[in-house]
Structure 1
Amino acid sequence: MNGKAMQSLLCLGRFLGCFLAFWACSSSDQADSDDSRPWKVPEEANHRLNPFQDEASVEAGQALYNVYCWSCHGASGMGDGAAGGAMGSQPADFHTESFLNQTDGAIFWKISQGRNVMPSFDEILSEQQRWQVTAYIRKLGEGMAETLAASPVSLREDISIQHYLKVPARAVRIFYQPETDALWYATFGGDVYKIDRSERPLHAEKVITATEHGINRLQGATVYGNTLFLAGNIRVNDNKGTTGWMMRVELNPLGNHRVSKVFSTVEYGTTSTPFDHGWSAVKVSPDGRYIYVVSGSRTDHGEVQDNKGAYPNSRNEPLTAGIFRFPIDAQDVLLPNDLEALRNAGYLYAEGIRNAYDFDFDKDGNLFAVVNSGDYDQSEDMFWVREGHHYGFPWVMGGLDTPQQFADWYPDPEKDPFLNTSAAAWPEGFYNDPQFPKRPEGIAFTPGMRNFGPDAVKYRDRATGDIRDAFEEGTSIVGFTAHSSPLGLNFDREHWLGGSYTGSAFTLRYTNGTKSSLMQPFTDSGEDLLQLRVTFDPEVSNFRLNTWRIAEGFSQPVDAVLVGNELYVIEYGGRQRGGNIWKVIFPKTDAL
């Protein structure tokens, strides 16, 4: 069970990489990924009886589950939450015989104690609350609790939403091939599918697998002409380390696709935490000359993450927390873990970006990225990304300084309300960091875009700790409400959309405030679609935002692609049950 909220995509190399964006949890009824020993429940705990099993207790347990446990264990309780898939570990499946054969006392003890990346809830939830959660997951495992799938709804009269297609579990990307009028999607495990939009009934054809292209932790995928570009990670050193890869797949209608490597990286360390974001979003430049790819951070906020000593003193690495660029025809590039070498070779396009699980170009060729912040209550960024710029991570996120860099700061939730004790970074002590590195000399950080609302602009007041609404106060925040996990960024570059949507951008919020202990203090909305109006402000030499919620009710929406006046939204779909593609239909421009 887990109090962590989803942050891009995806990881989804922390998958959500977050995600997207993209968190990992240990199984509570199986061995840990790094510990072959099963849980050993003390006899006195094993024989305790649950004093809270009435209907009201089960309902209270469900509410707590939706905040603290859903992101890893999933709405179904099958261990299929996207956060739980982040590091390749398997959270407990409450429907298994081994789980159901446990006593309530054993389940309560495990919830209380925690293990590895699953935190202890002894100080987070009261004893009564832990028994209530125990009662709910017992009912969930026995198939007696309600687990209704969400159906998205439009919040505007001029747009409609239709179900398009069911997809397998762990879908992470959706993209479009105009030459064949085909939608494509990819899964975290490396399968890539094609949907011919003209065929009826619609069906998805599996085109290539991880066995063929080599990436078994896939988070980035796009198509350009007749070529797929796929990005992700491959574990090495007994899963303690990783390498980043991008593969090129030249498609052959008869099969036998030609596969070649664009780049790979030298080995660097993973972290055994929820914060390994990995290599994710991939986009080809509008002129077709370059391929861009995101590498997310390997830490929450720049702390030491040495994977239990395997990679001593490792914080962020030169190969992480940036956006990279390669010539479209690059072949077999080996990237060193050396900052100056990456800069001098021209591969490191922009630095200091924690986890840009998605990005897109506007009609003028400007590159924008939506970015996840960490477990501290800093807002989520949106950046105008330019070559050679540094965007501040780990020293600045969401327009706020990371407090670890200041010698007089000590992590105390009683004094600093930006610290959430249910966050993954808190119980592991990641905020205790007196050796936090100093800011690099001679580098000016490029600020994020300010958001003037009216939606997604809740923030925590720096002086009082209160949750406030910037739009109601006539002001703005940097980016989006904290812990939103924005992804699926799309611009209406061709002005296909009519009415108030012409020229807009759109992004999804993966997280839902009712299901996230991090986002809940700010809002009870999320898992929704935002319309963005992006305009240049010459006074600050940067772009600014306005945001509106226009649809809600998605279930783990992880990516989207705009095709004409239709936005196709794909859901992650857990680890077992699968998700959906939804078609959001906008009015067309009068010129068409």
Structure 2
Amino acid sequence: MLVFWLGLAVFFPACSPSGENRTTQGETPWRAPESANHRLNPFQDESALEAGKAVYQVYCWSCHGETGMGDGAAGGAMDSRPADFHTKSFLNQTDGAIFWKISTGRNIMPSFEEVLSEQERWQVTAYIRKLGEGMAETLAASPVRLRDDLQINHYMKVAPRAVRIFYEPKTDAIWYATFEGEVFRILRSQKPLKAERILSVSDHGISRLQGATIQGNTLFLAGNNRVNDNKGTTGWVMRVSLDSDGKHSVTKVFSTVEYGTTSTPFDHGWSAVRVSPDGRHLFVVSGSRTDHGEVQDNKGAYPNSRNEPLTAAIFRFPIDTKDLLLENDLDWLRSRGFLYAEGIRNAYDFDFDKEGNMFAVVNSGDYDQSEDMFWVREGHHYGFPWVMGGLETPQQFPDWHPDPEKDPFLNTSAAAWPQDFYNDPDFPKRPDQVVFSPGMRNFGPDAVKYRDRKTGEIMDAAATGSSITSFTAHSSPLGLNFDRDGLLGDPYTGSALTLRYTKGTKSSLMQPFTTNGEDLLLLRVRYDPALDNFTLNSWRIAEGFNQPVDAVLVGKELYVIEYGGRQRGGNIWTVSFP
């Protein structure tokens, strides 16, 4: 489901807010009954902590973060932060109260009573208490190459919650941006390397920053600002002109009218932004505000709201656009030429090949649909919310009823399950006379696990001589880069590269498919005239990153940036090609 937020959100497993006093508006504090408070934890030895850590990695970290500070990327889009296990209000609870909340669930946090055994729930209770007390070992990652002709080196530590990395050739600088709106510049020639903060949120005004790029001496920043007492949102793109003397001027490209945000991790917001190869246009992604097209009215503030005209699409604007106000009206957006492509759930990243074709990597929802890679063409509709990963969304069929016993594509640990988002008899009908453009078929050999439609079994397309659209479910592909200049050596020349943010051992949704993830994929992209579409082959070439959220290809080096936690921060790694 990532946003992050990433929606990144935004493409993440279920969240588990267990704090004593963490509430959303209109809710009472979450307190365990007295009978639960007095229960003692029978599993507290070292083996229990190790077992609890394994459970935490699969079910909890994406919202609560590596160190338990409530700073996981999946929680970024929600109107209240997931519980911080380091706070007094959390640590003052008894183990029995924590165990009860894990078992019972509330709102977006599912009940784990049927998902985890009683022993596992006690074990994760022990682990998160130790995590909060600062005594538990945190997750670690050290990237490793899977091919001998690659080199991976640590470049530098970065600020917490990094979301974008990009390159500016004029001064030979690597730039990166954080979710909180900070923008840093790293001069590659400067030794030792130093990240200089150029902008903060007070400079550009975007409080939830997800997109950033640079063209010449101009930065373009994309994101959202909450309105209406945090119930609504507006999308923003800002232009920052940088002067040689270090000063800068800020103008608004556009903002949107108000529309409803959600209290879930499904509100992906405005994210990826890129300048067209000819320099004439600015392309901006707006992710969906839902998991699969369900009603998300934010506790009634925006009645019957599902997806909006301003969401789940890629937009195009003249590069010199200034002070534009976007209406939340489909006909208005189409008639003015702003709506470039529709029906794309969450294209958190996109790039152009050497011929100027646009490609986007897209993550699907909580249902076990595969993740798409699209050849994005003007005026095309790519199927969301009726089709994702080549599989039809079952809510559109009146004879379908959500039952995990009968439908193996439903995962009860998913964030969409506990609030009954799948029970949707009023799901909208497909638009008349609209042909959906399919995702690209991937023939593997890697990242092509899928669930068989008839049997529900997990299959490997490479092993069966078939293909899927386009990547293993819940992989969350990010950081797409094409070798447009053909600088990479054989066998990488002219290929594309993408990251998978999610890892099977850390994701309750991805785990049934694979233990792999948090890796780098090499993509061979070829046009098939019979399909009038491109096809893929994908290979894993590096692994062991920790929440890799974006990448930029500079010459023969790919700079990979990690999201990091609220305080710990992540890293930039360089993957050097022959």
Whole-Å separation in 2 of the counterparts to 1:212 and 1:22: 33
1:335 aligns with 2:329: no
How far is 1:36 from its partner? 6.3
Match of 2:5 in 1: 11
- Which one-letter code corresponds to 2:217 in the other structure? N
Seen in structure 2, the aligned counterparts of structure 1 residues 27 and 109 have a Cα distance that, compared at 3 Å, is closer
Residues 184 and 193 in structure 1, CA contact (< 8 A), matched pair in contact too: yes
Secondary structure at the aligned position of 1:83 is classed as helix
How far off its partner does 1:131 sit?
Answer: 1.0
In 2, Cα distance between equivalents of 1:579 and 1:298: 27
CA distance in 2, matches of 1:562, 1:454: 24
- In 1, Cα distance between equivalents of 2:319 and 2:14: 32
1:427 equivalent in structure 2: 418
Distance 2:235 2:385 in 1: 21
Determine if contact 1:46/1:105 at 8 Å carries over to the other structure: yes
Q: Describe the shift of the 1:57–1:398 C-alpha distance in structure 2 as closer, same or farther (beyond 3 A).
A: same
What letter matches 2:420 in structure 1? G
The one-letter code sitting in structure 1 at the alignment partner of 2:369 is: Q
Q: Deviations over 1:447-494 (max 9, x none)?
A: 000000000000000000000000011110011000000010000000
Separation in structure 2 between the aligned mates of residue 414 and residue 10 of structure 1, nearest angstrom? 30
Aligned to 2:487: 496
User: Which residue does 1:275 correspond to in 2?
Assistant: 266
Matches of 1:46 and 1:444 in 2, distance apart? 56
Once superposed, which parts of structure 1, at least 4 consecutive aligned residues long, lie more than 3 Å away?
A: 21-27
Whole-angstrom CA distance in 1 between matches of 2:125 and 2:465: 44
Equivalents in 2 of 1:144, 1:99: separation in Å?
15
2:559 aligned residue (560, 568, 576): 568
Partner SS for 2:518: strand
Normalised by the size of structure 2, how large is the TM-score?
Answer: 0.98
Residues 279/23 of structure 1: CA separation in 2 closer, same or farther (3 Å cut): farther
User: TM-score w.r.t. structure 1 length?
Assistant: 0.95
Distance 1:524 1:576 in 2: 27
Q: Aligned in 2, Cα 1:496/1:146: closer, same or farther, shift over 3 Å?
A: same
Assess, with a 3 A threshold, how the Cα gap between structure 1 residues 422 and 74 changes in structure 2: closer, same or farther.
same
Q: What residue number does 1:234 align with?
A: 225
Distance 2:76 2:255 in 1: 23
Partner amino acid, structure 2, of 1:271? T
Partner of 1:379: 370
CA drift at 1:406: 0.4
Amino acid at match of 2:431: P
- Alpha-carbon distance in 2 for matches of 1:25, 1:317: 28
Pair 1:190-2:181 in alignment: yes
Q: Which runs of 5+ in 1 are unaligned?
A: 1-6, 588-592
Deviation for aligned residue 1:359: 0.0
Q: 2:75 aligns with which of 65, 84, 88?
A: 84
Is contact 1:26-1:89 (8 Å) kept?
no
Match of residue 357 from structure 2? 366
Could you tell me how far 1:515 is from its partner in structure 2?
0.5
Q: How does 1:113-512 map to 2 (within 5 A)?
A: 113-512=104-503
With 51-60 and 64-73 compared, the bigger mean Cα shift is at 51-60
Q: Structure 1 residues 63-72 or 81-90, which shifts more? A: 81-90
1:578 & 1:213 partners in 2: Cα distance? 22
User: Structure 2 CA distance, aligned partners of 1:107 and 1:192?
Assistant: 38
The whole-number CA distance in structure 1 between the counterparts of 2:28 and 2:331 is: 44
Contact 1:25 1:118 in 2 (8 A): yes
Indicate if the aligned counterparts of 2:518 and 2:545 stay in contact, CA closer than 8 A.
yes
CA contact (8 A) 1:10 1:22 kept: no
Find the counterpart in structure 2 of residue 590 from structure 1: none
Distance 1:49 1:520, change over 3 A: same
1:556 aligns with 2:547: yes
Q: Distance in 1 between matches of 2:397 and 2:407?
A: 14
Aligned mates of 1:412, 1:156 — CA distance in 2 = 43
State the distance in 2 between where 1:186 and 1:35 align.
Answer: 34
- How big is each residue's C-alpha offset from its partner over 1:244-284, in whole Å with a ceiling of 9 and x where there is no partner? 01000001233441111111111100111110000000010
Between the aligned partners of 2:77 and 2:567, the Cα distance in structure 1 is 15
Per-residue deviation at 1:208?
A: 1.0
Q: What is the identity, as a one-letter code, of the residue corresponding to 1:218?
A: L
CA-based RMSD of the aligned residues comes to 1.4
CA distance in 1, matches of 2:27, 2:289: 25
Q: Post-superposition shift, 1:148?
A: 4.3
Number of matched pairs:
578
In the alignment, the residues of structure 2 paired with residue 142 and residue 331 of structure 1 have an alpha-carbon distance, to the nearest angstrom, of 50
Following superposition, the deviation at residue 231 of structure 1 comes to: 0.4
Q: CA deviation at 1:123?
A: 2.4
CA–CA distance in 2 between the matches of 1:408 and 1:198?
63
Q: Secondary structure at the match of 2:74?
A: coil
Query: Aligned in 2, Cα 1:310/1:293: closer, same or farther, shift over 3 Å?
Result: same
Per the alignment, do residues 27 and 135 of structure 1 end up closer, same or farther by CA in structure 2, a change over 3 Å counting? closer
Q: In the alignment, is the contact (CA less than 8 A) between 1:18 and 1:485 conserved in 2? A: no
**Contact 2:547–2:564 under 8 Å retained in 1:** yes
Judging changes above 3 Å, is the alpha-carbon distance between structure 1 residues 187 and 181 closer, same or farther for their aligned structure 2 residues? same
Task: Provide Cα deviations, 1:533-574, integer angstroms capped at 9, x if missing partner.
Answer: 001011111000000000000011000000000000000002
Match of 2:73, as an amino acid?
A
Question: What residue identity is the alignment partner of 1:175?
Answer: F
- Structure 1 SS opposite 2:425: coil
1:40 aligns with 2:31: yes
Q: Find the residue that maps to 1:500 and give its secondary structure.
A: coil
Separation of aligned partners in 2, 1:29 and 1:385: 46
> Following the alignment from structure 1 to structure 2, what is the Cα–Cα distance between the partners of residues 312 and 572?
34
Provide the rounded CA distance (Å) in 2 between the counterparts of 1:29 and 1:374: 29
Question: Residues 408-457 of structure 1, C-alpha deviation per residue, up to 9 Å, x if partnerless?
Answer: 10001011000000001111100001111111011100000000000000
CA–CA separation in structure 2 for the residues paired with 1:52 and 1:32: 29
**Structure 2: runs of 5+ lacking an equivalent:** none
